[in-house]
Chains A and B, each alone.
Chain A
Amino acid sequence: MEEPILEIVDELNVSGVYKELSHPASGGICVFIGAVREFTNNEEVVALEFETYKTMALKEMQKTVVQASEKWPFNKVVVRHVVGVKKVEDPVVVVGVSSAHRDACFPACRYIIDTLKQTVPIWKKEIFRNKEVWVSAHP
């Protein structure tokens, strides 16, 4: 695995990710993009607000991509997540993996986004018209 690209950013531009993942030994590139959805349980979401504990988030991202690389061989990886207020349809996270064949990059990409959601210290607040809710905070 080449040096991973791991970033917390204010604005996420996903258009350059192909170039970041392209590699002469990679015949497969898998990219997941998470975006702001308009409705949660039939309630209209005005915006999402993300915050992070950056030093720890980058460390946890690093651990996650190392774990993934031990399970599936890949050449390049990008994990980039936003902070701040994001509107409906804005991209908020991109995870991309490039590998020799698709049977490595698909599960690696899935593992990285699933693990990120469980361990990386990033918090999301849903802003509705009349209330704000930190996601997953309460049972």
Chain B
Amino acid sequence: MELLLFGIAKDIVGRSTINLSPDSTLPGSVAELKKLLVADYPDFSKLSSFAVAVNSEYANDDVVLGHNDEIAIIPPVSGG
């Protein structure tokens, strides 16, 4: 499972993608993924907020994650 990272999320992790190895326990839902990220990279808890997109759509915490989904971490947007 590959996560795409943008903006400050990329800076926090230090690269633009994270590969979650299939051997490890993969997060089953958006809520689990958020928990995992905050545990591995505590700076995520300092953000105003962050969202998760699944297949390029904003996803609620209860959305189930599949191996082939395109998953992205969406820190607070600031276009315009």
Query: Residues on A close to B: CB < 8 A?
Result: 34, 50-53, 55-57, 59, 81, 92-93, 113, 116-125, 134-139
Contacts and interface: CB of A to CB of B under 8 A. Distances in A.
16 contacts: A50-B79, A51-B6, A56-B53, A113-B80, A117-B80, A120-B77, A120-B79, A121-B53, A121-B72, A122-B77, A124-B78, A124-B79, A136-B77, A136-B78, A137-B78, A138-B48
Given A56-B53, A56-B56, A56-B57, A137 B8 contact: yes
A121 B50 CA distance: 11
A113 B8 CA distance: 22
B47 interface: yes
Contacts of A93: 79-80
Contacts of A134: 7-8, 11, 75, 78
Interface in B51-80: 53, 56-58, 72, 74-80
Contacts of A120: 77, 79
Contacts, number: 80
Given A92-B80, A134-B8, 4 more contacts: A57-B79, A121-B53, A123-B8, A124-B78
A108 B48 CA distance: 28
A59 B56 contact: yes
Contacts of A55: 56
Which one of A81, A122, A134, A137 has the greatest number of beta carbons of chain B within 10 Å? A137
A57 B80 CA distance: 12
Which are the 4 A-B pairs with shortest beta-carbon distances? A122-B79, A123-B7, A56-B56, A135-B78
The A interface is mostly helix, strand or loop, or mixed, namely mixed
Nearest to A54: B56
B26 interface: no
A5 to B, nearest CB: 17
A92 B57 CA distance: 24
B79 A81 contact: yes
Contact of A34 (B4, B58, B75, B80): B80
Contacts of A53: 4, 6, 53, 56, 72, 74
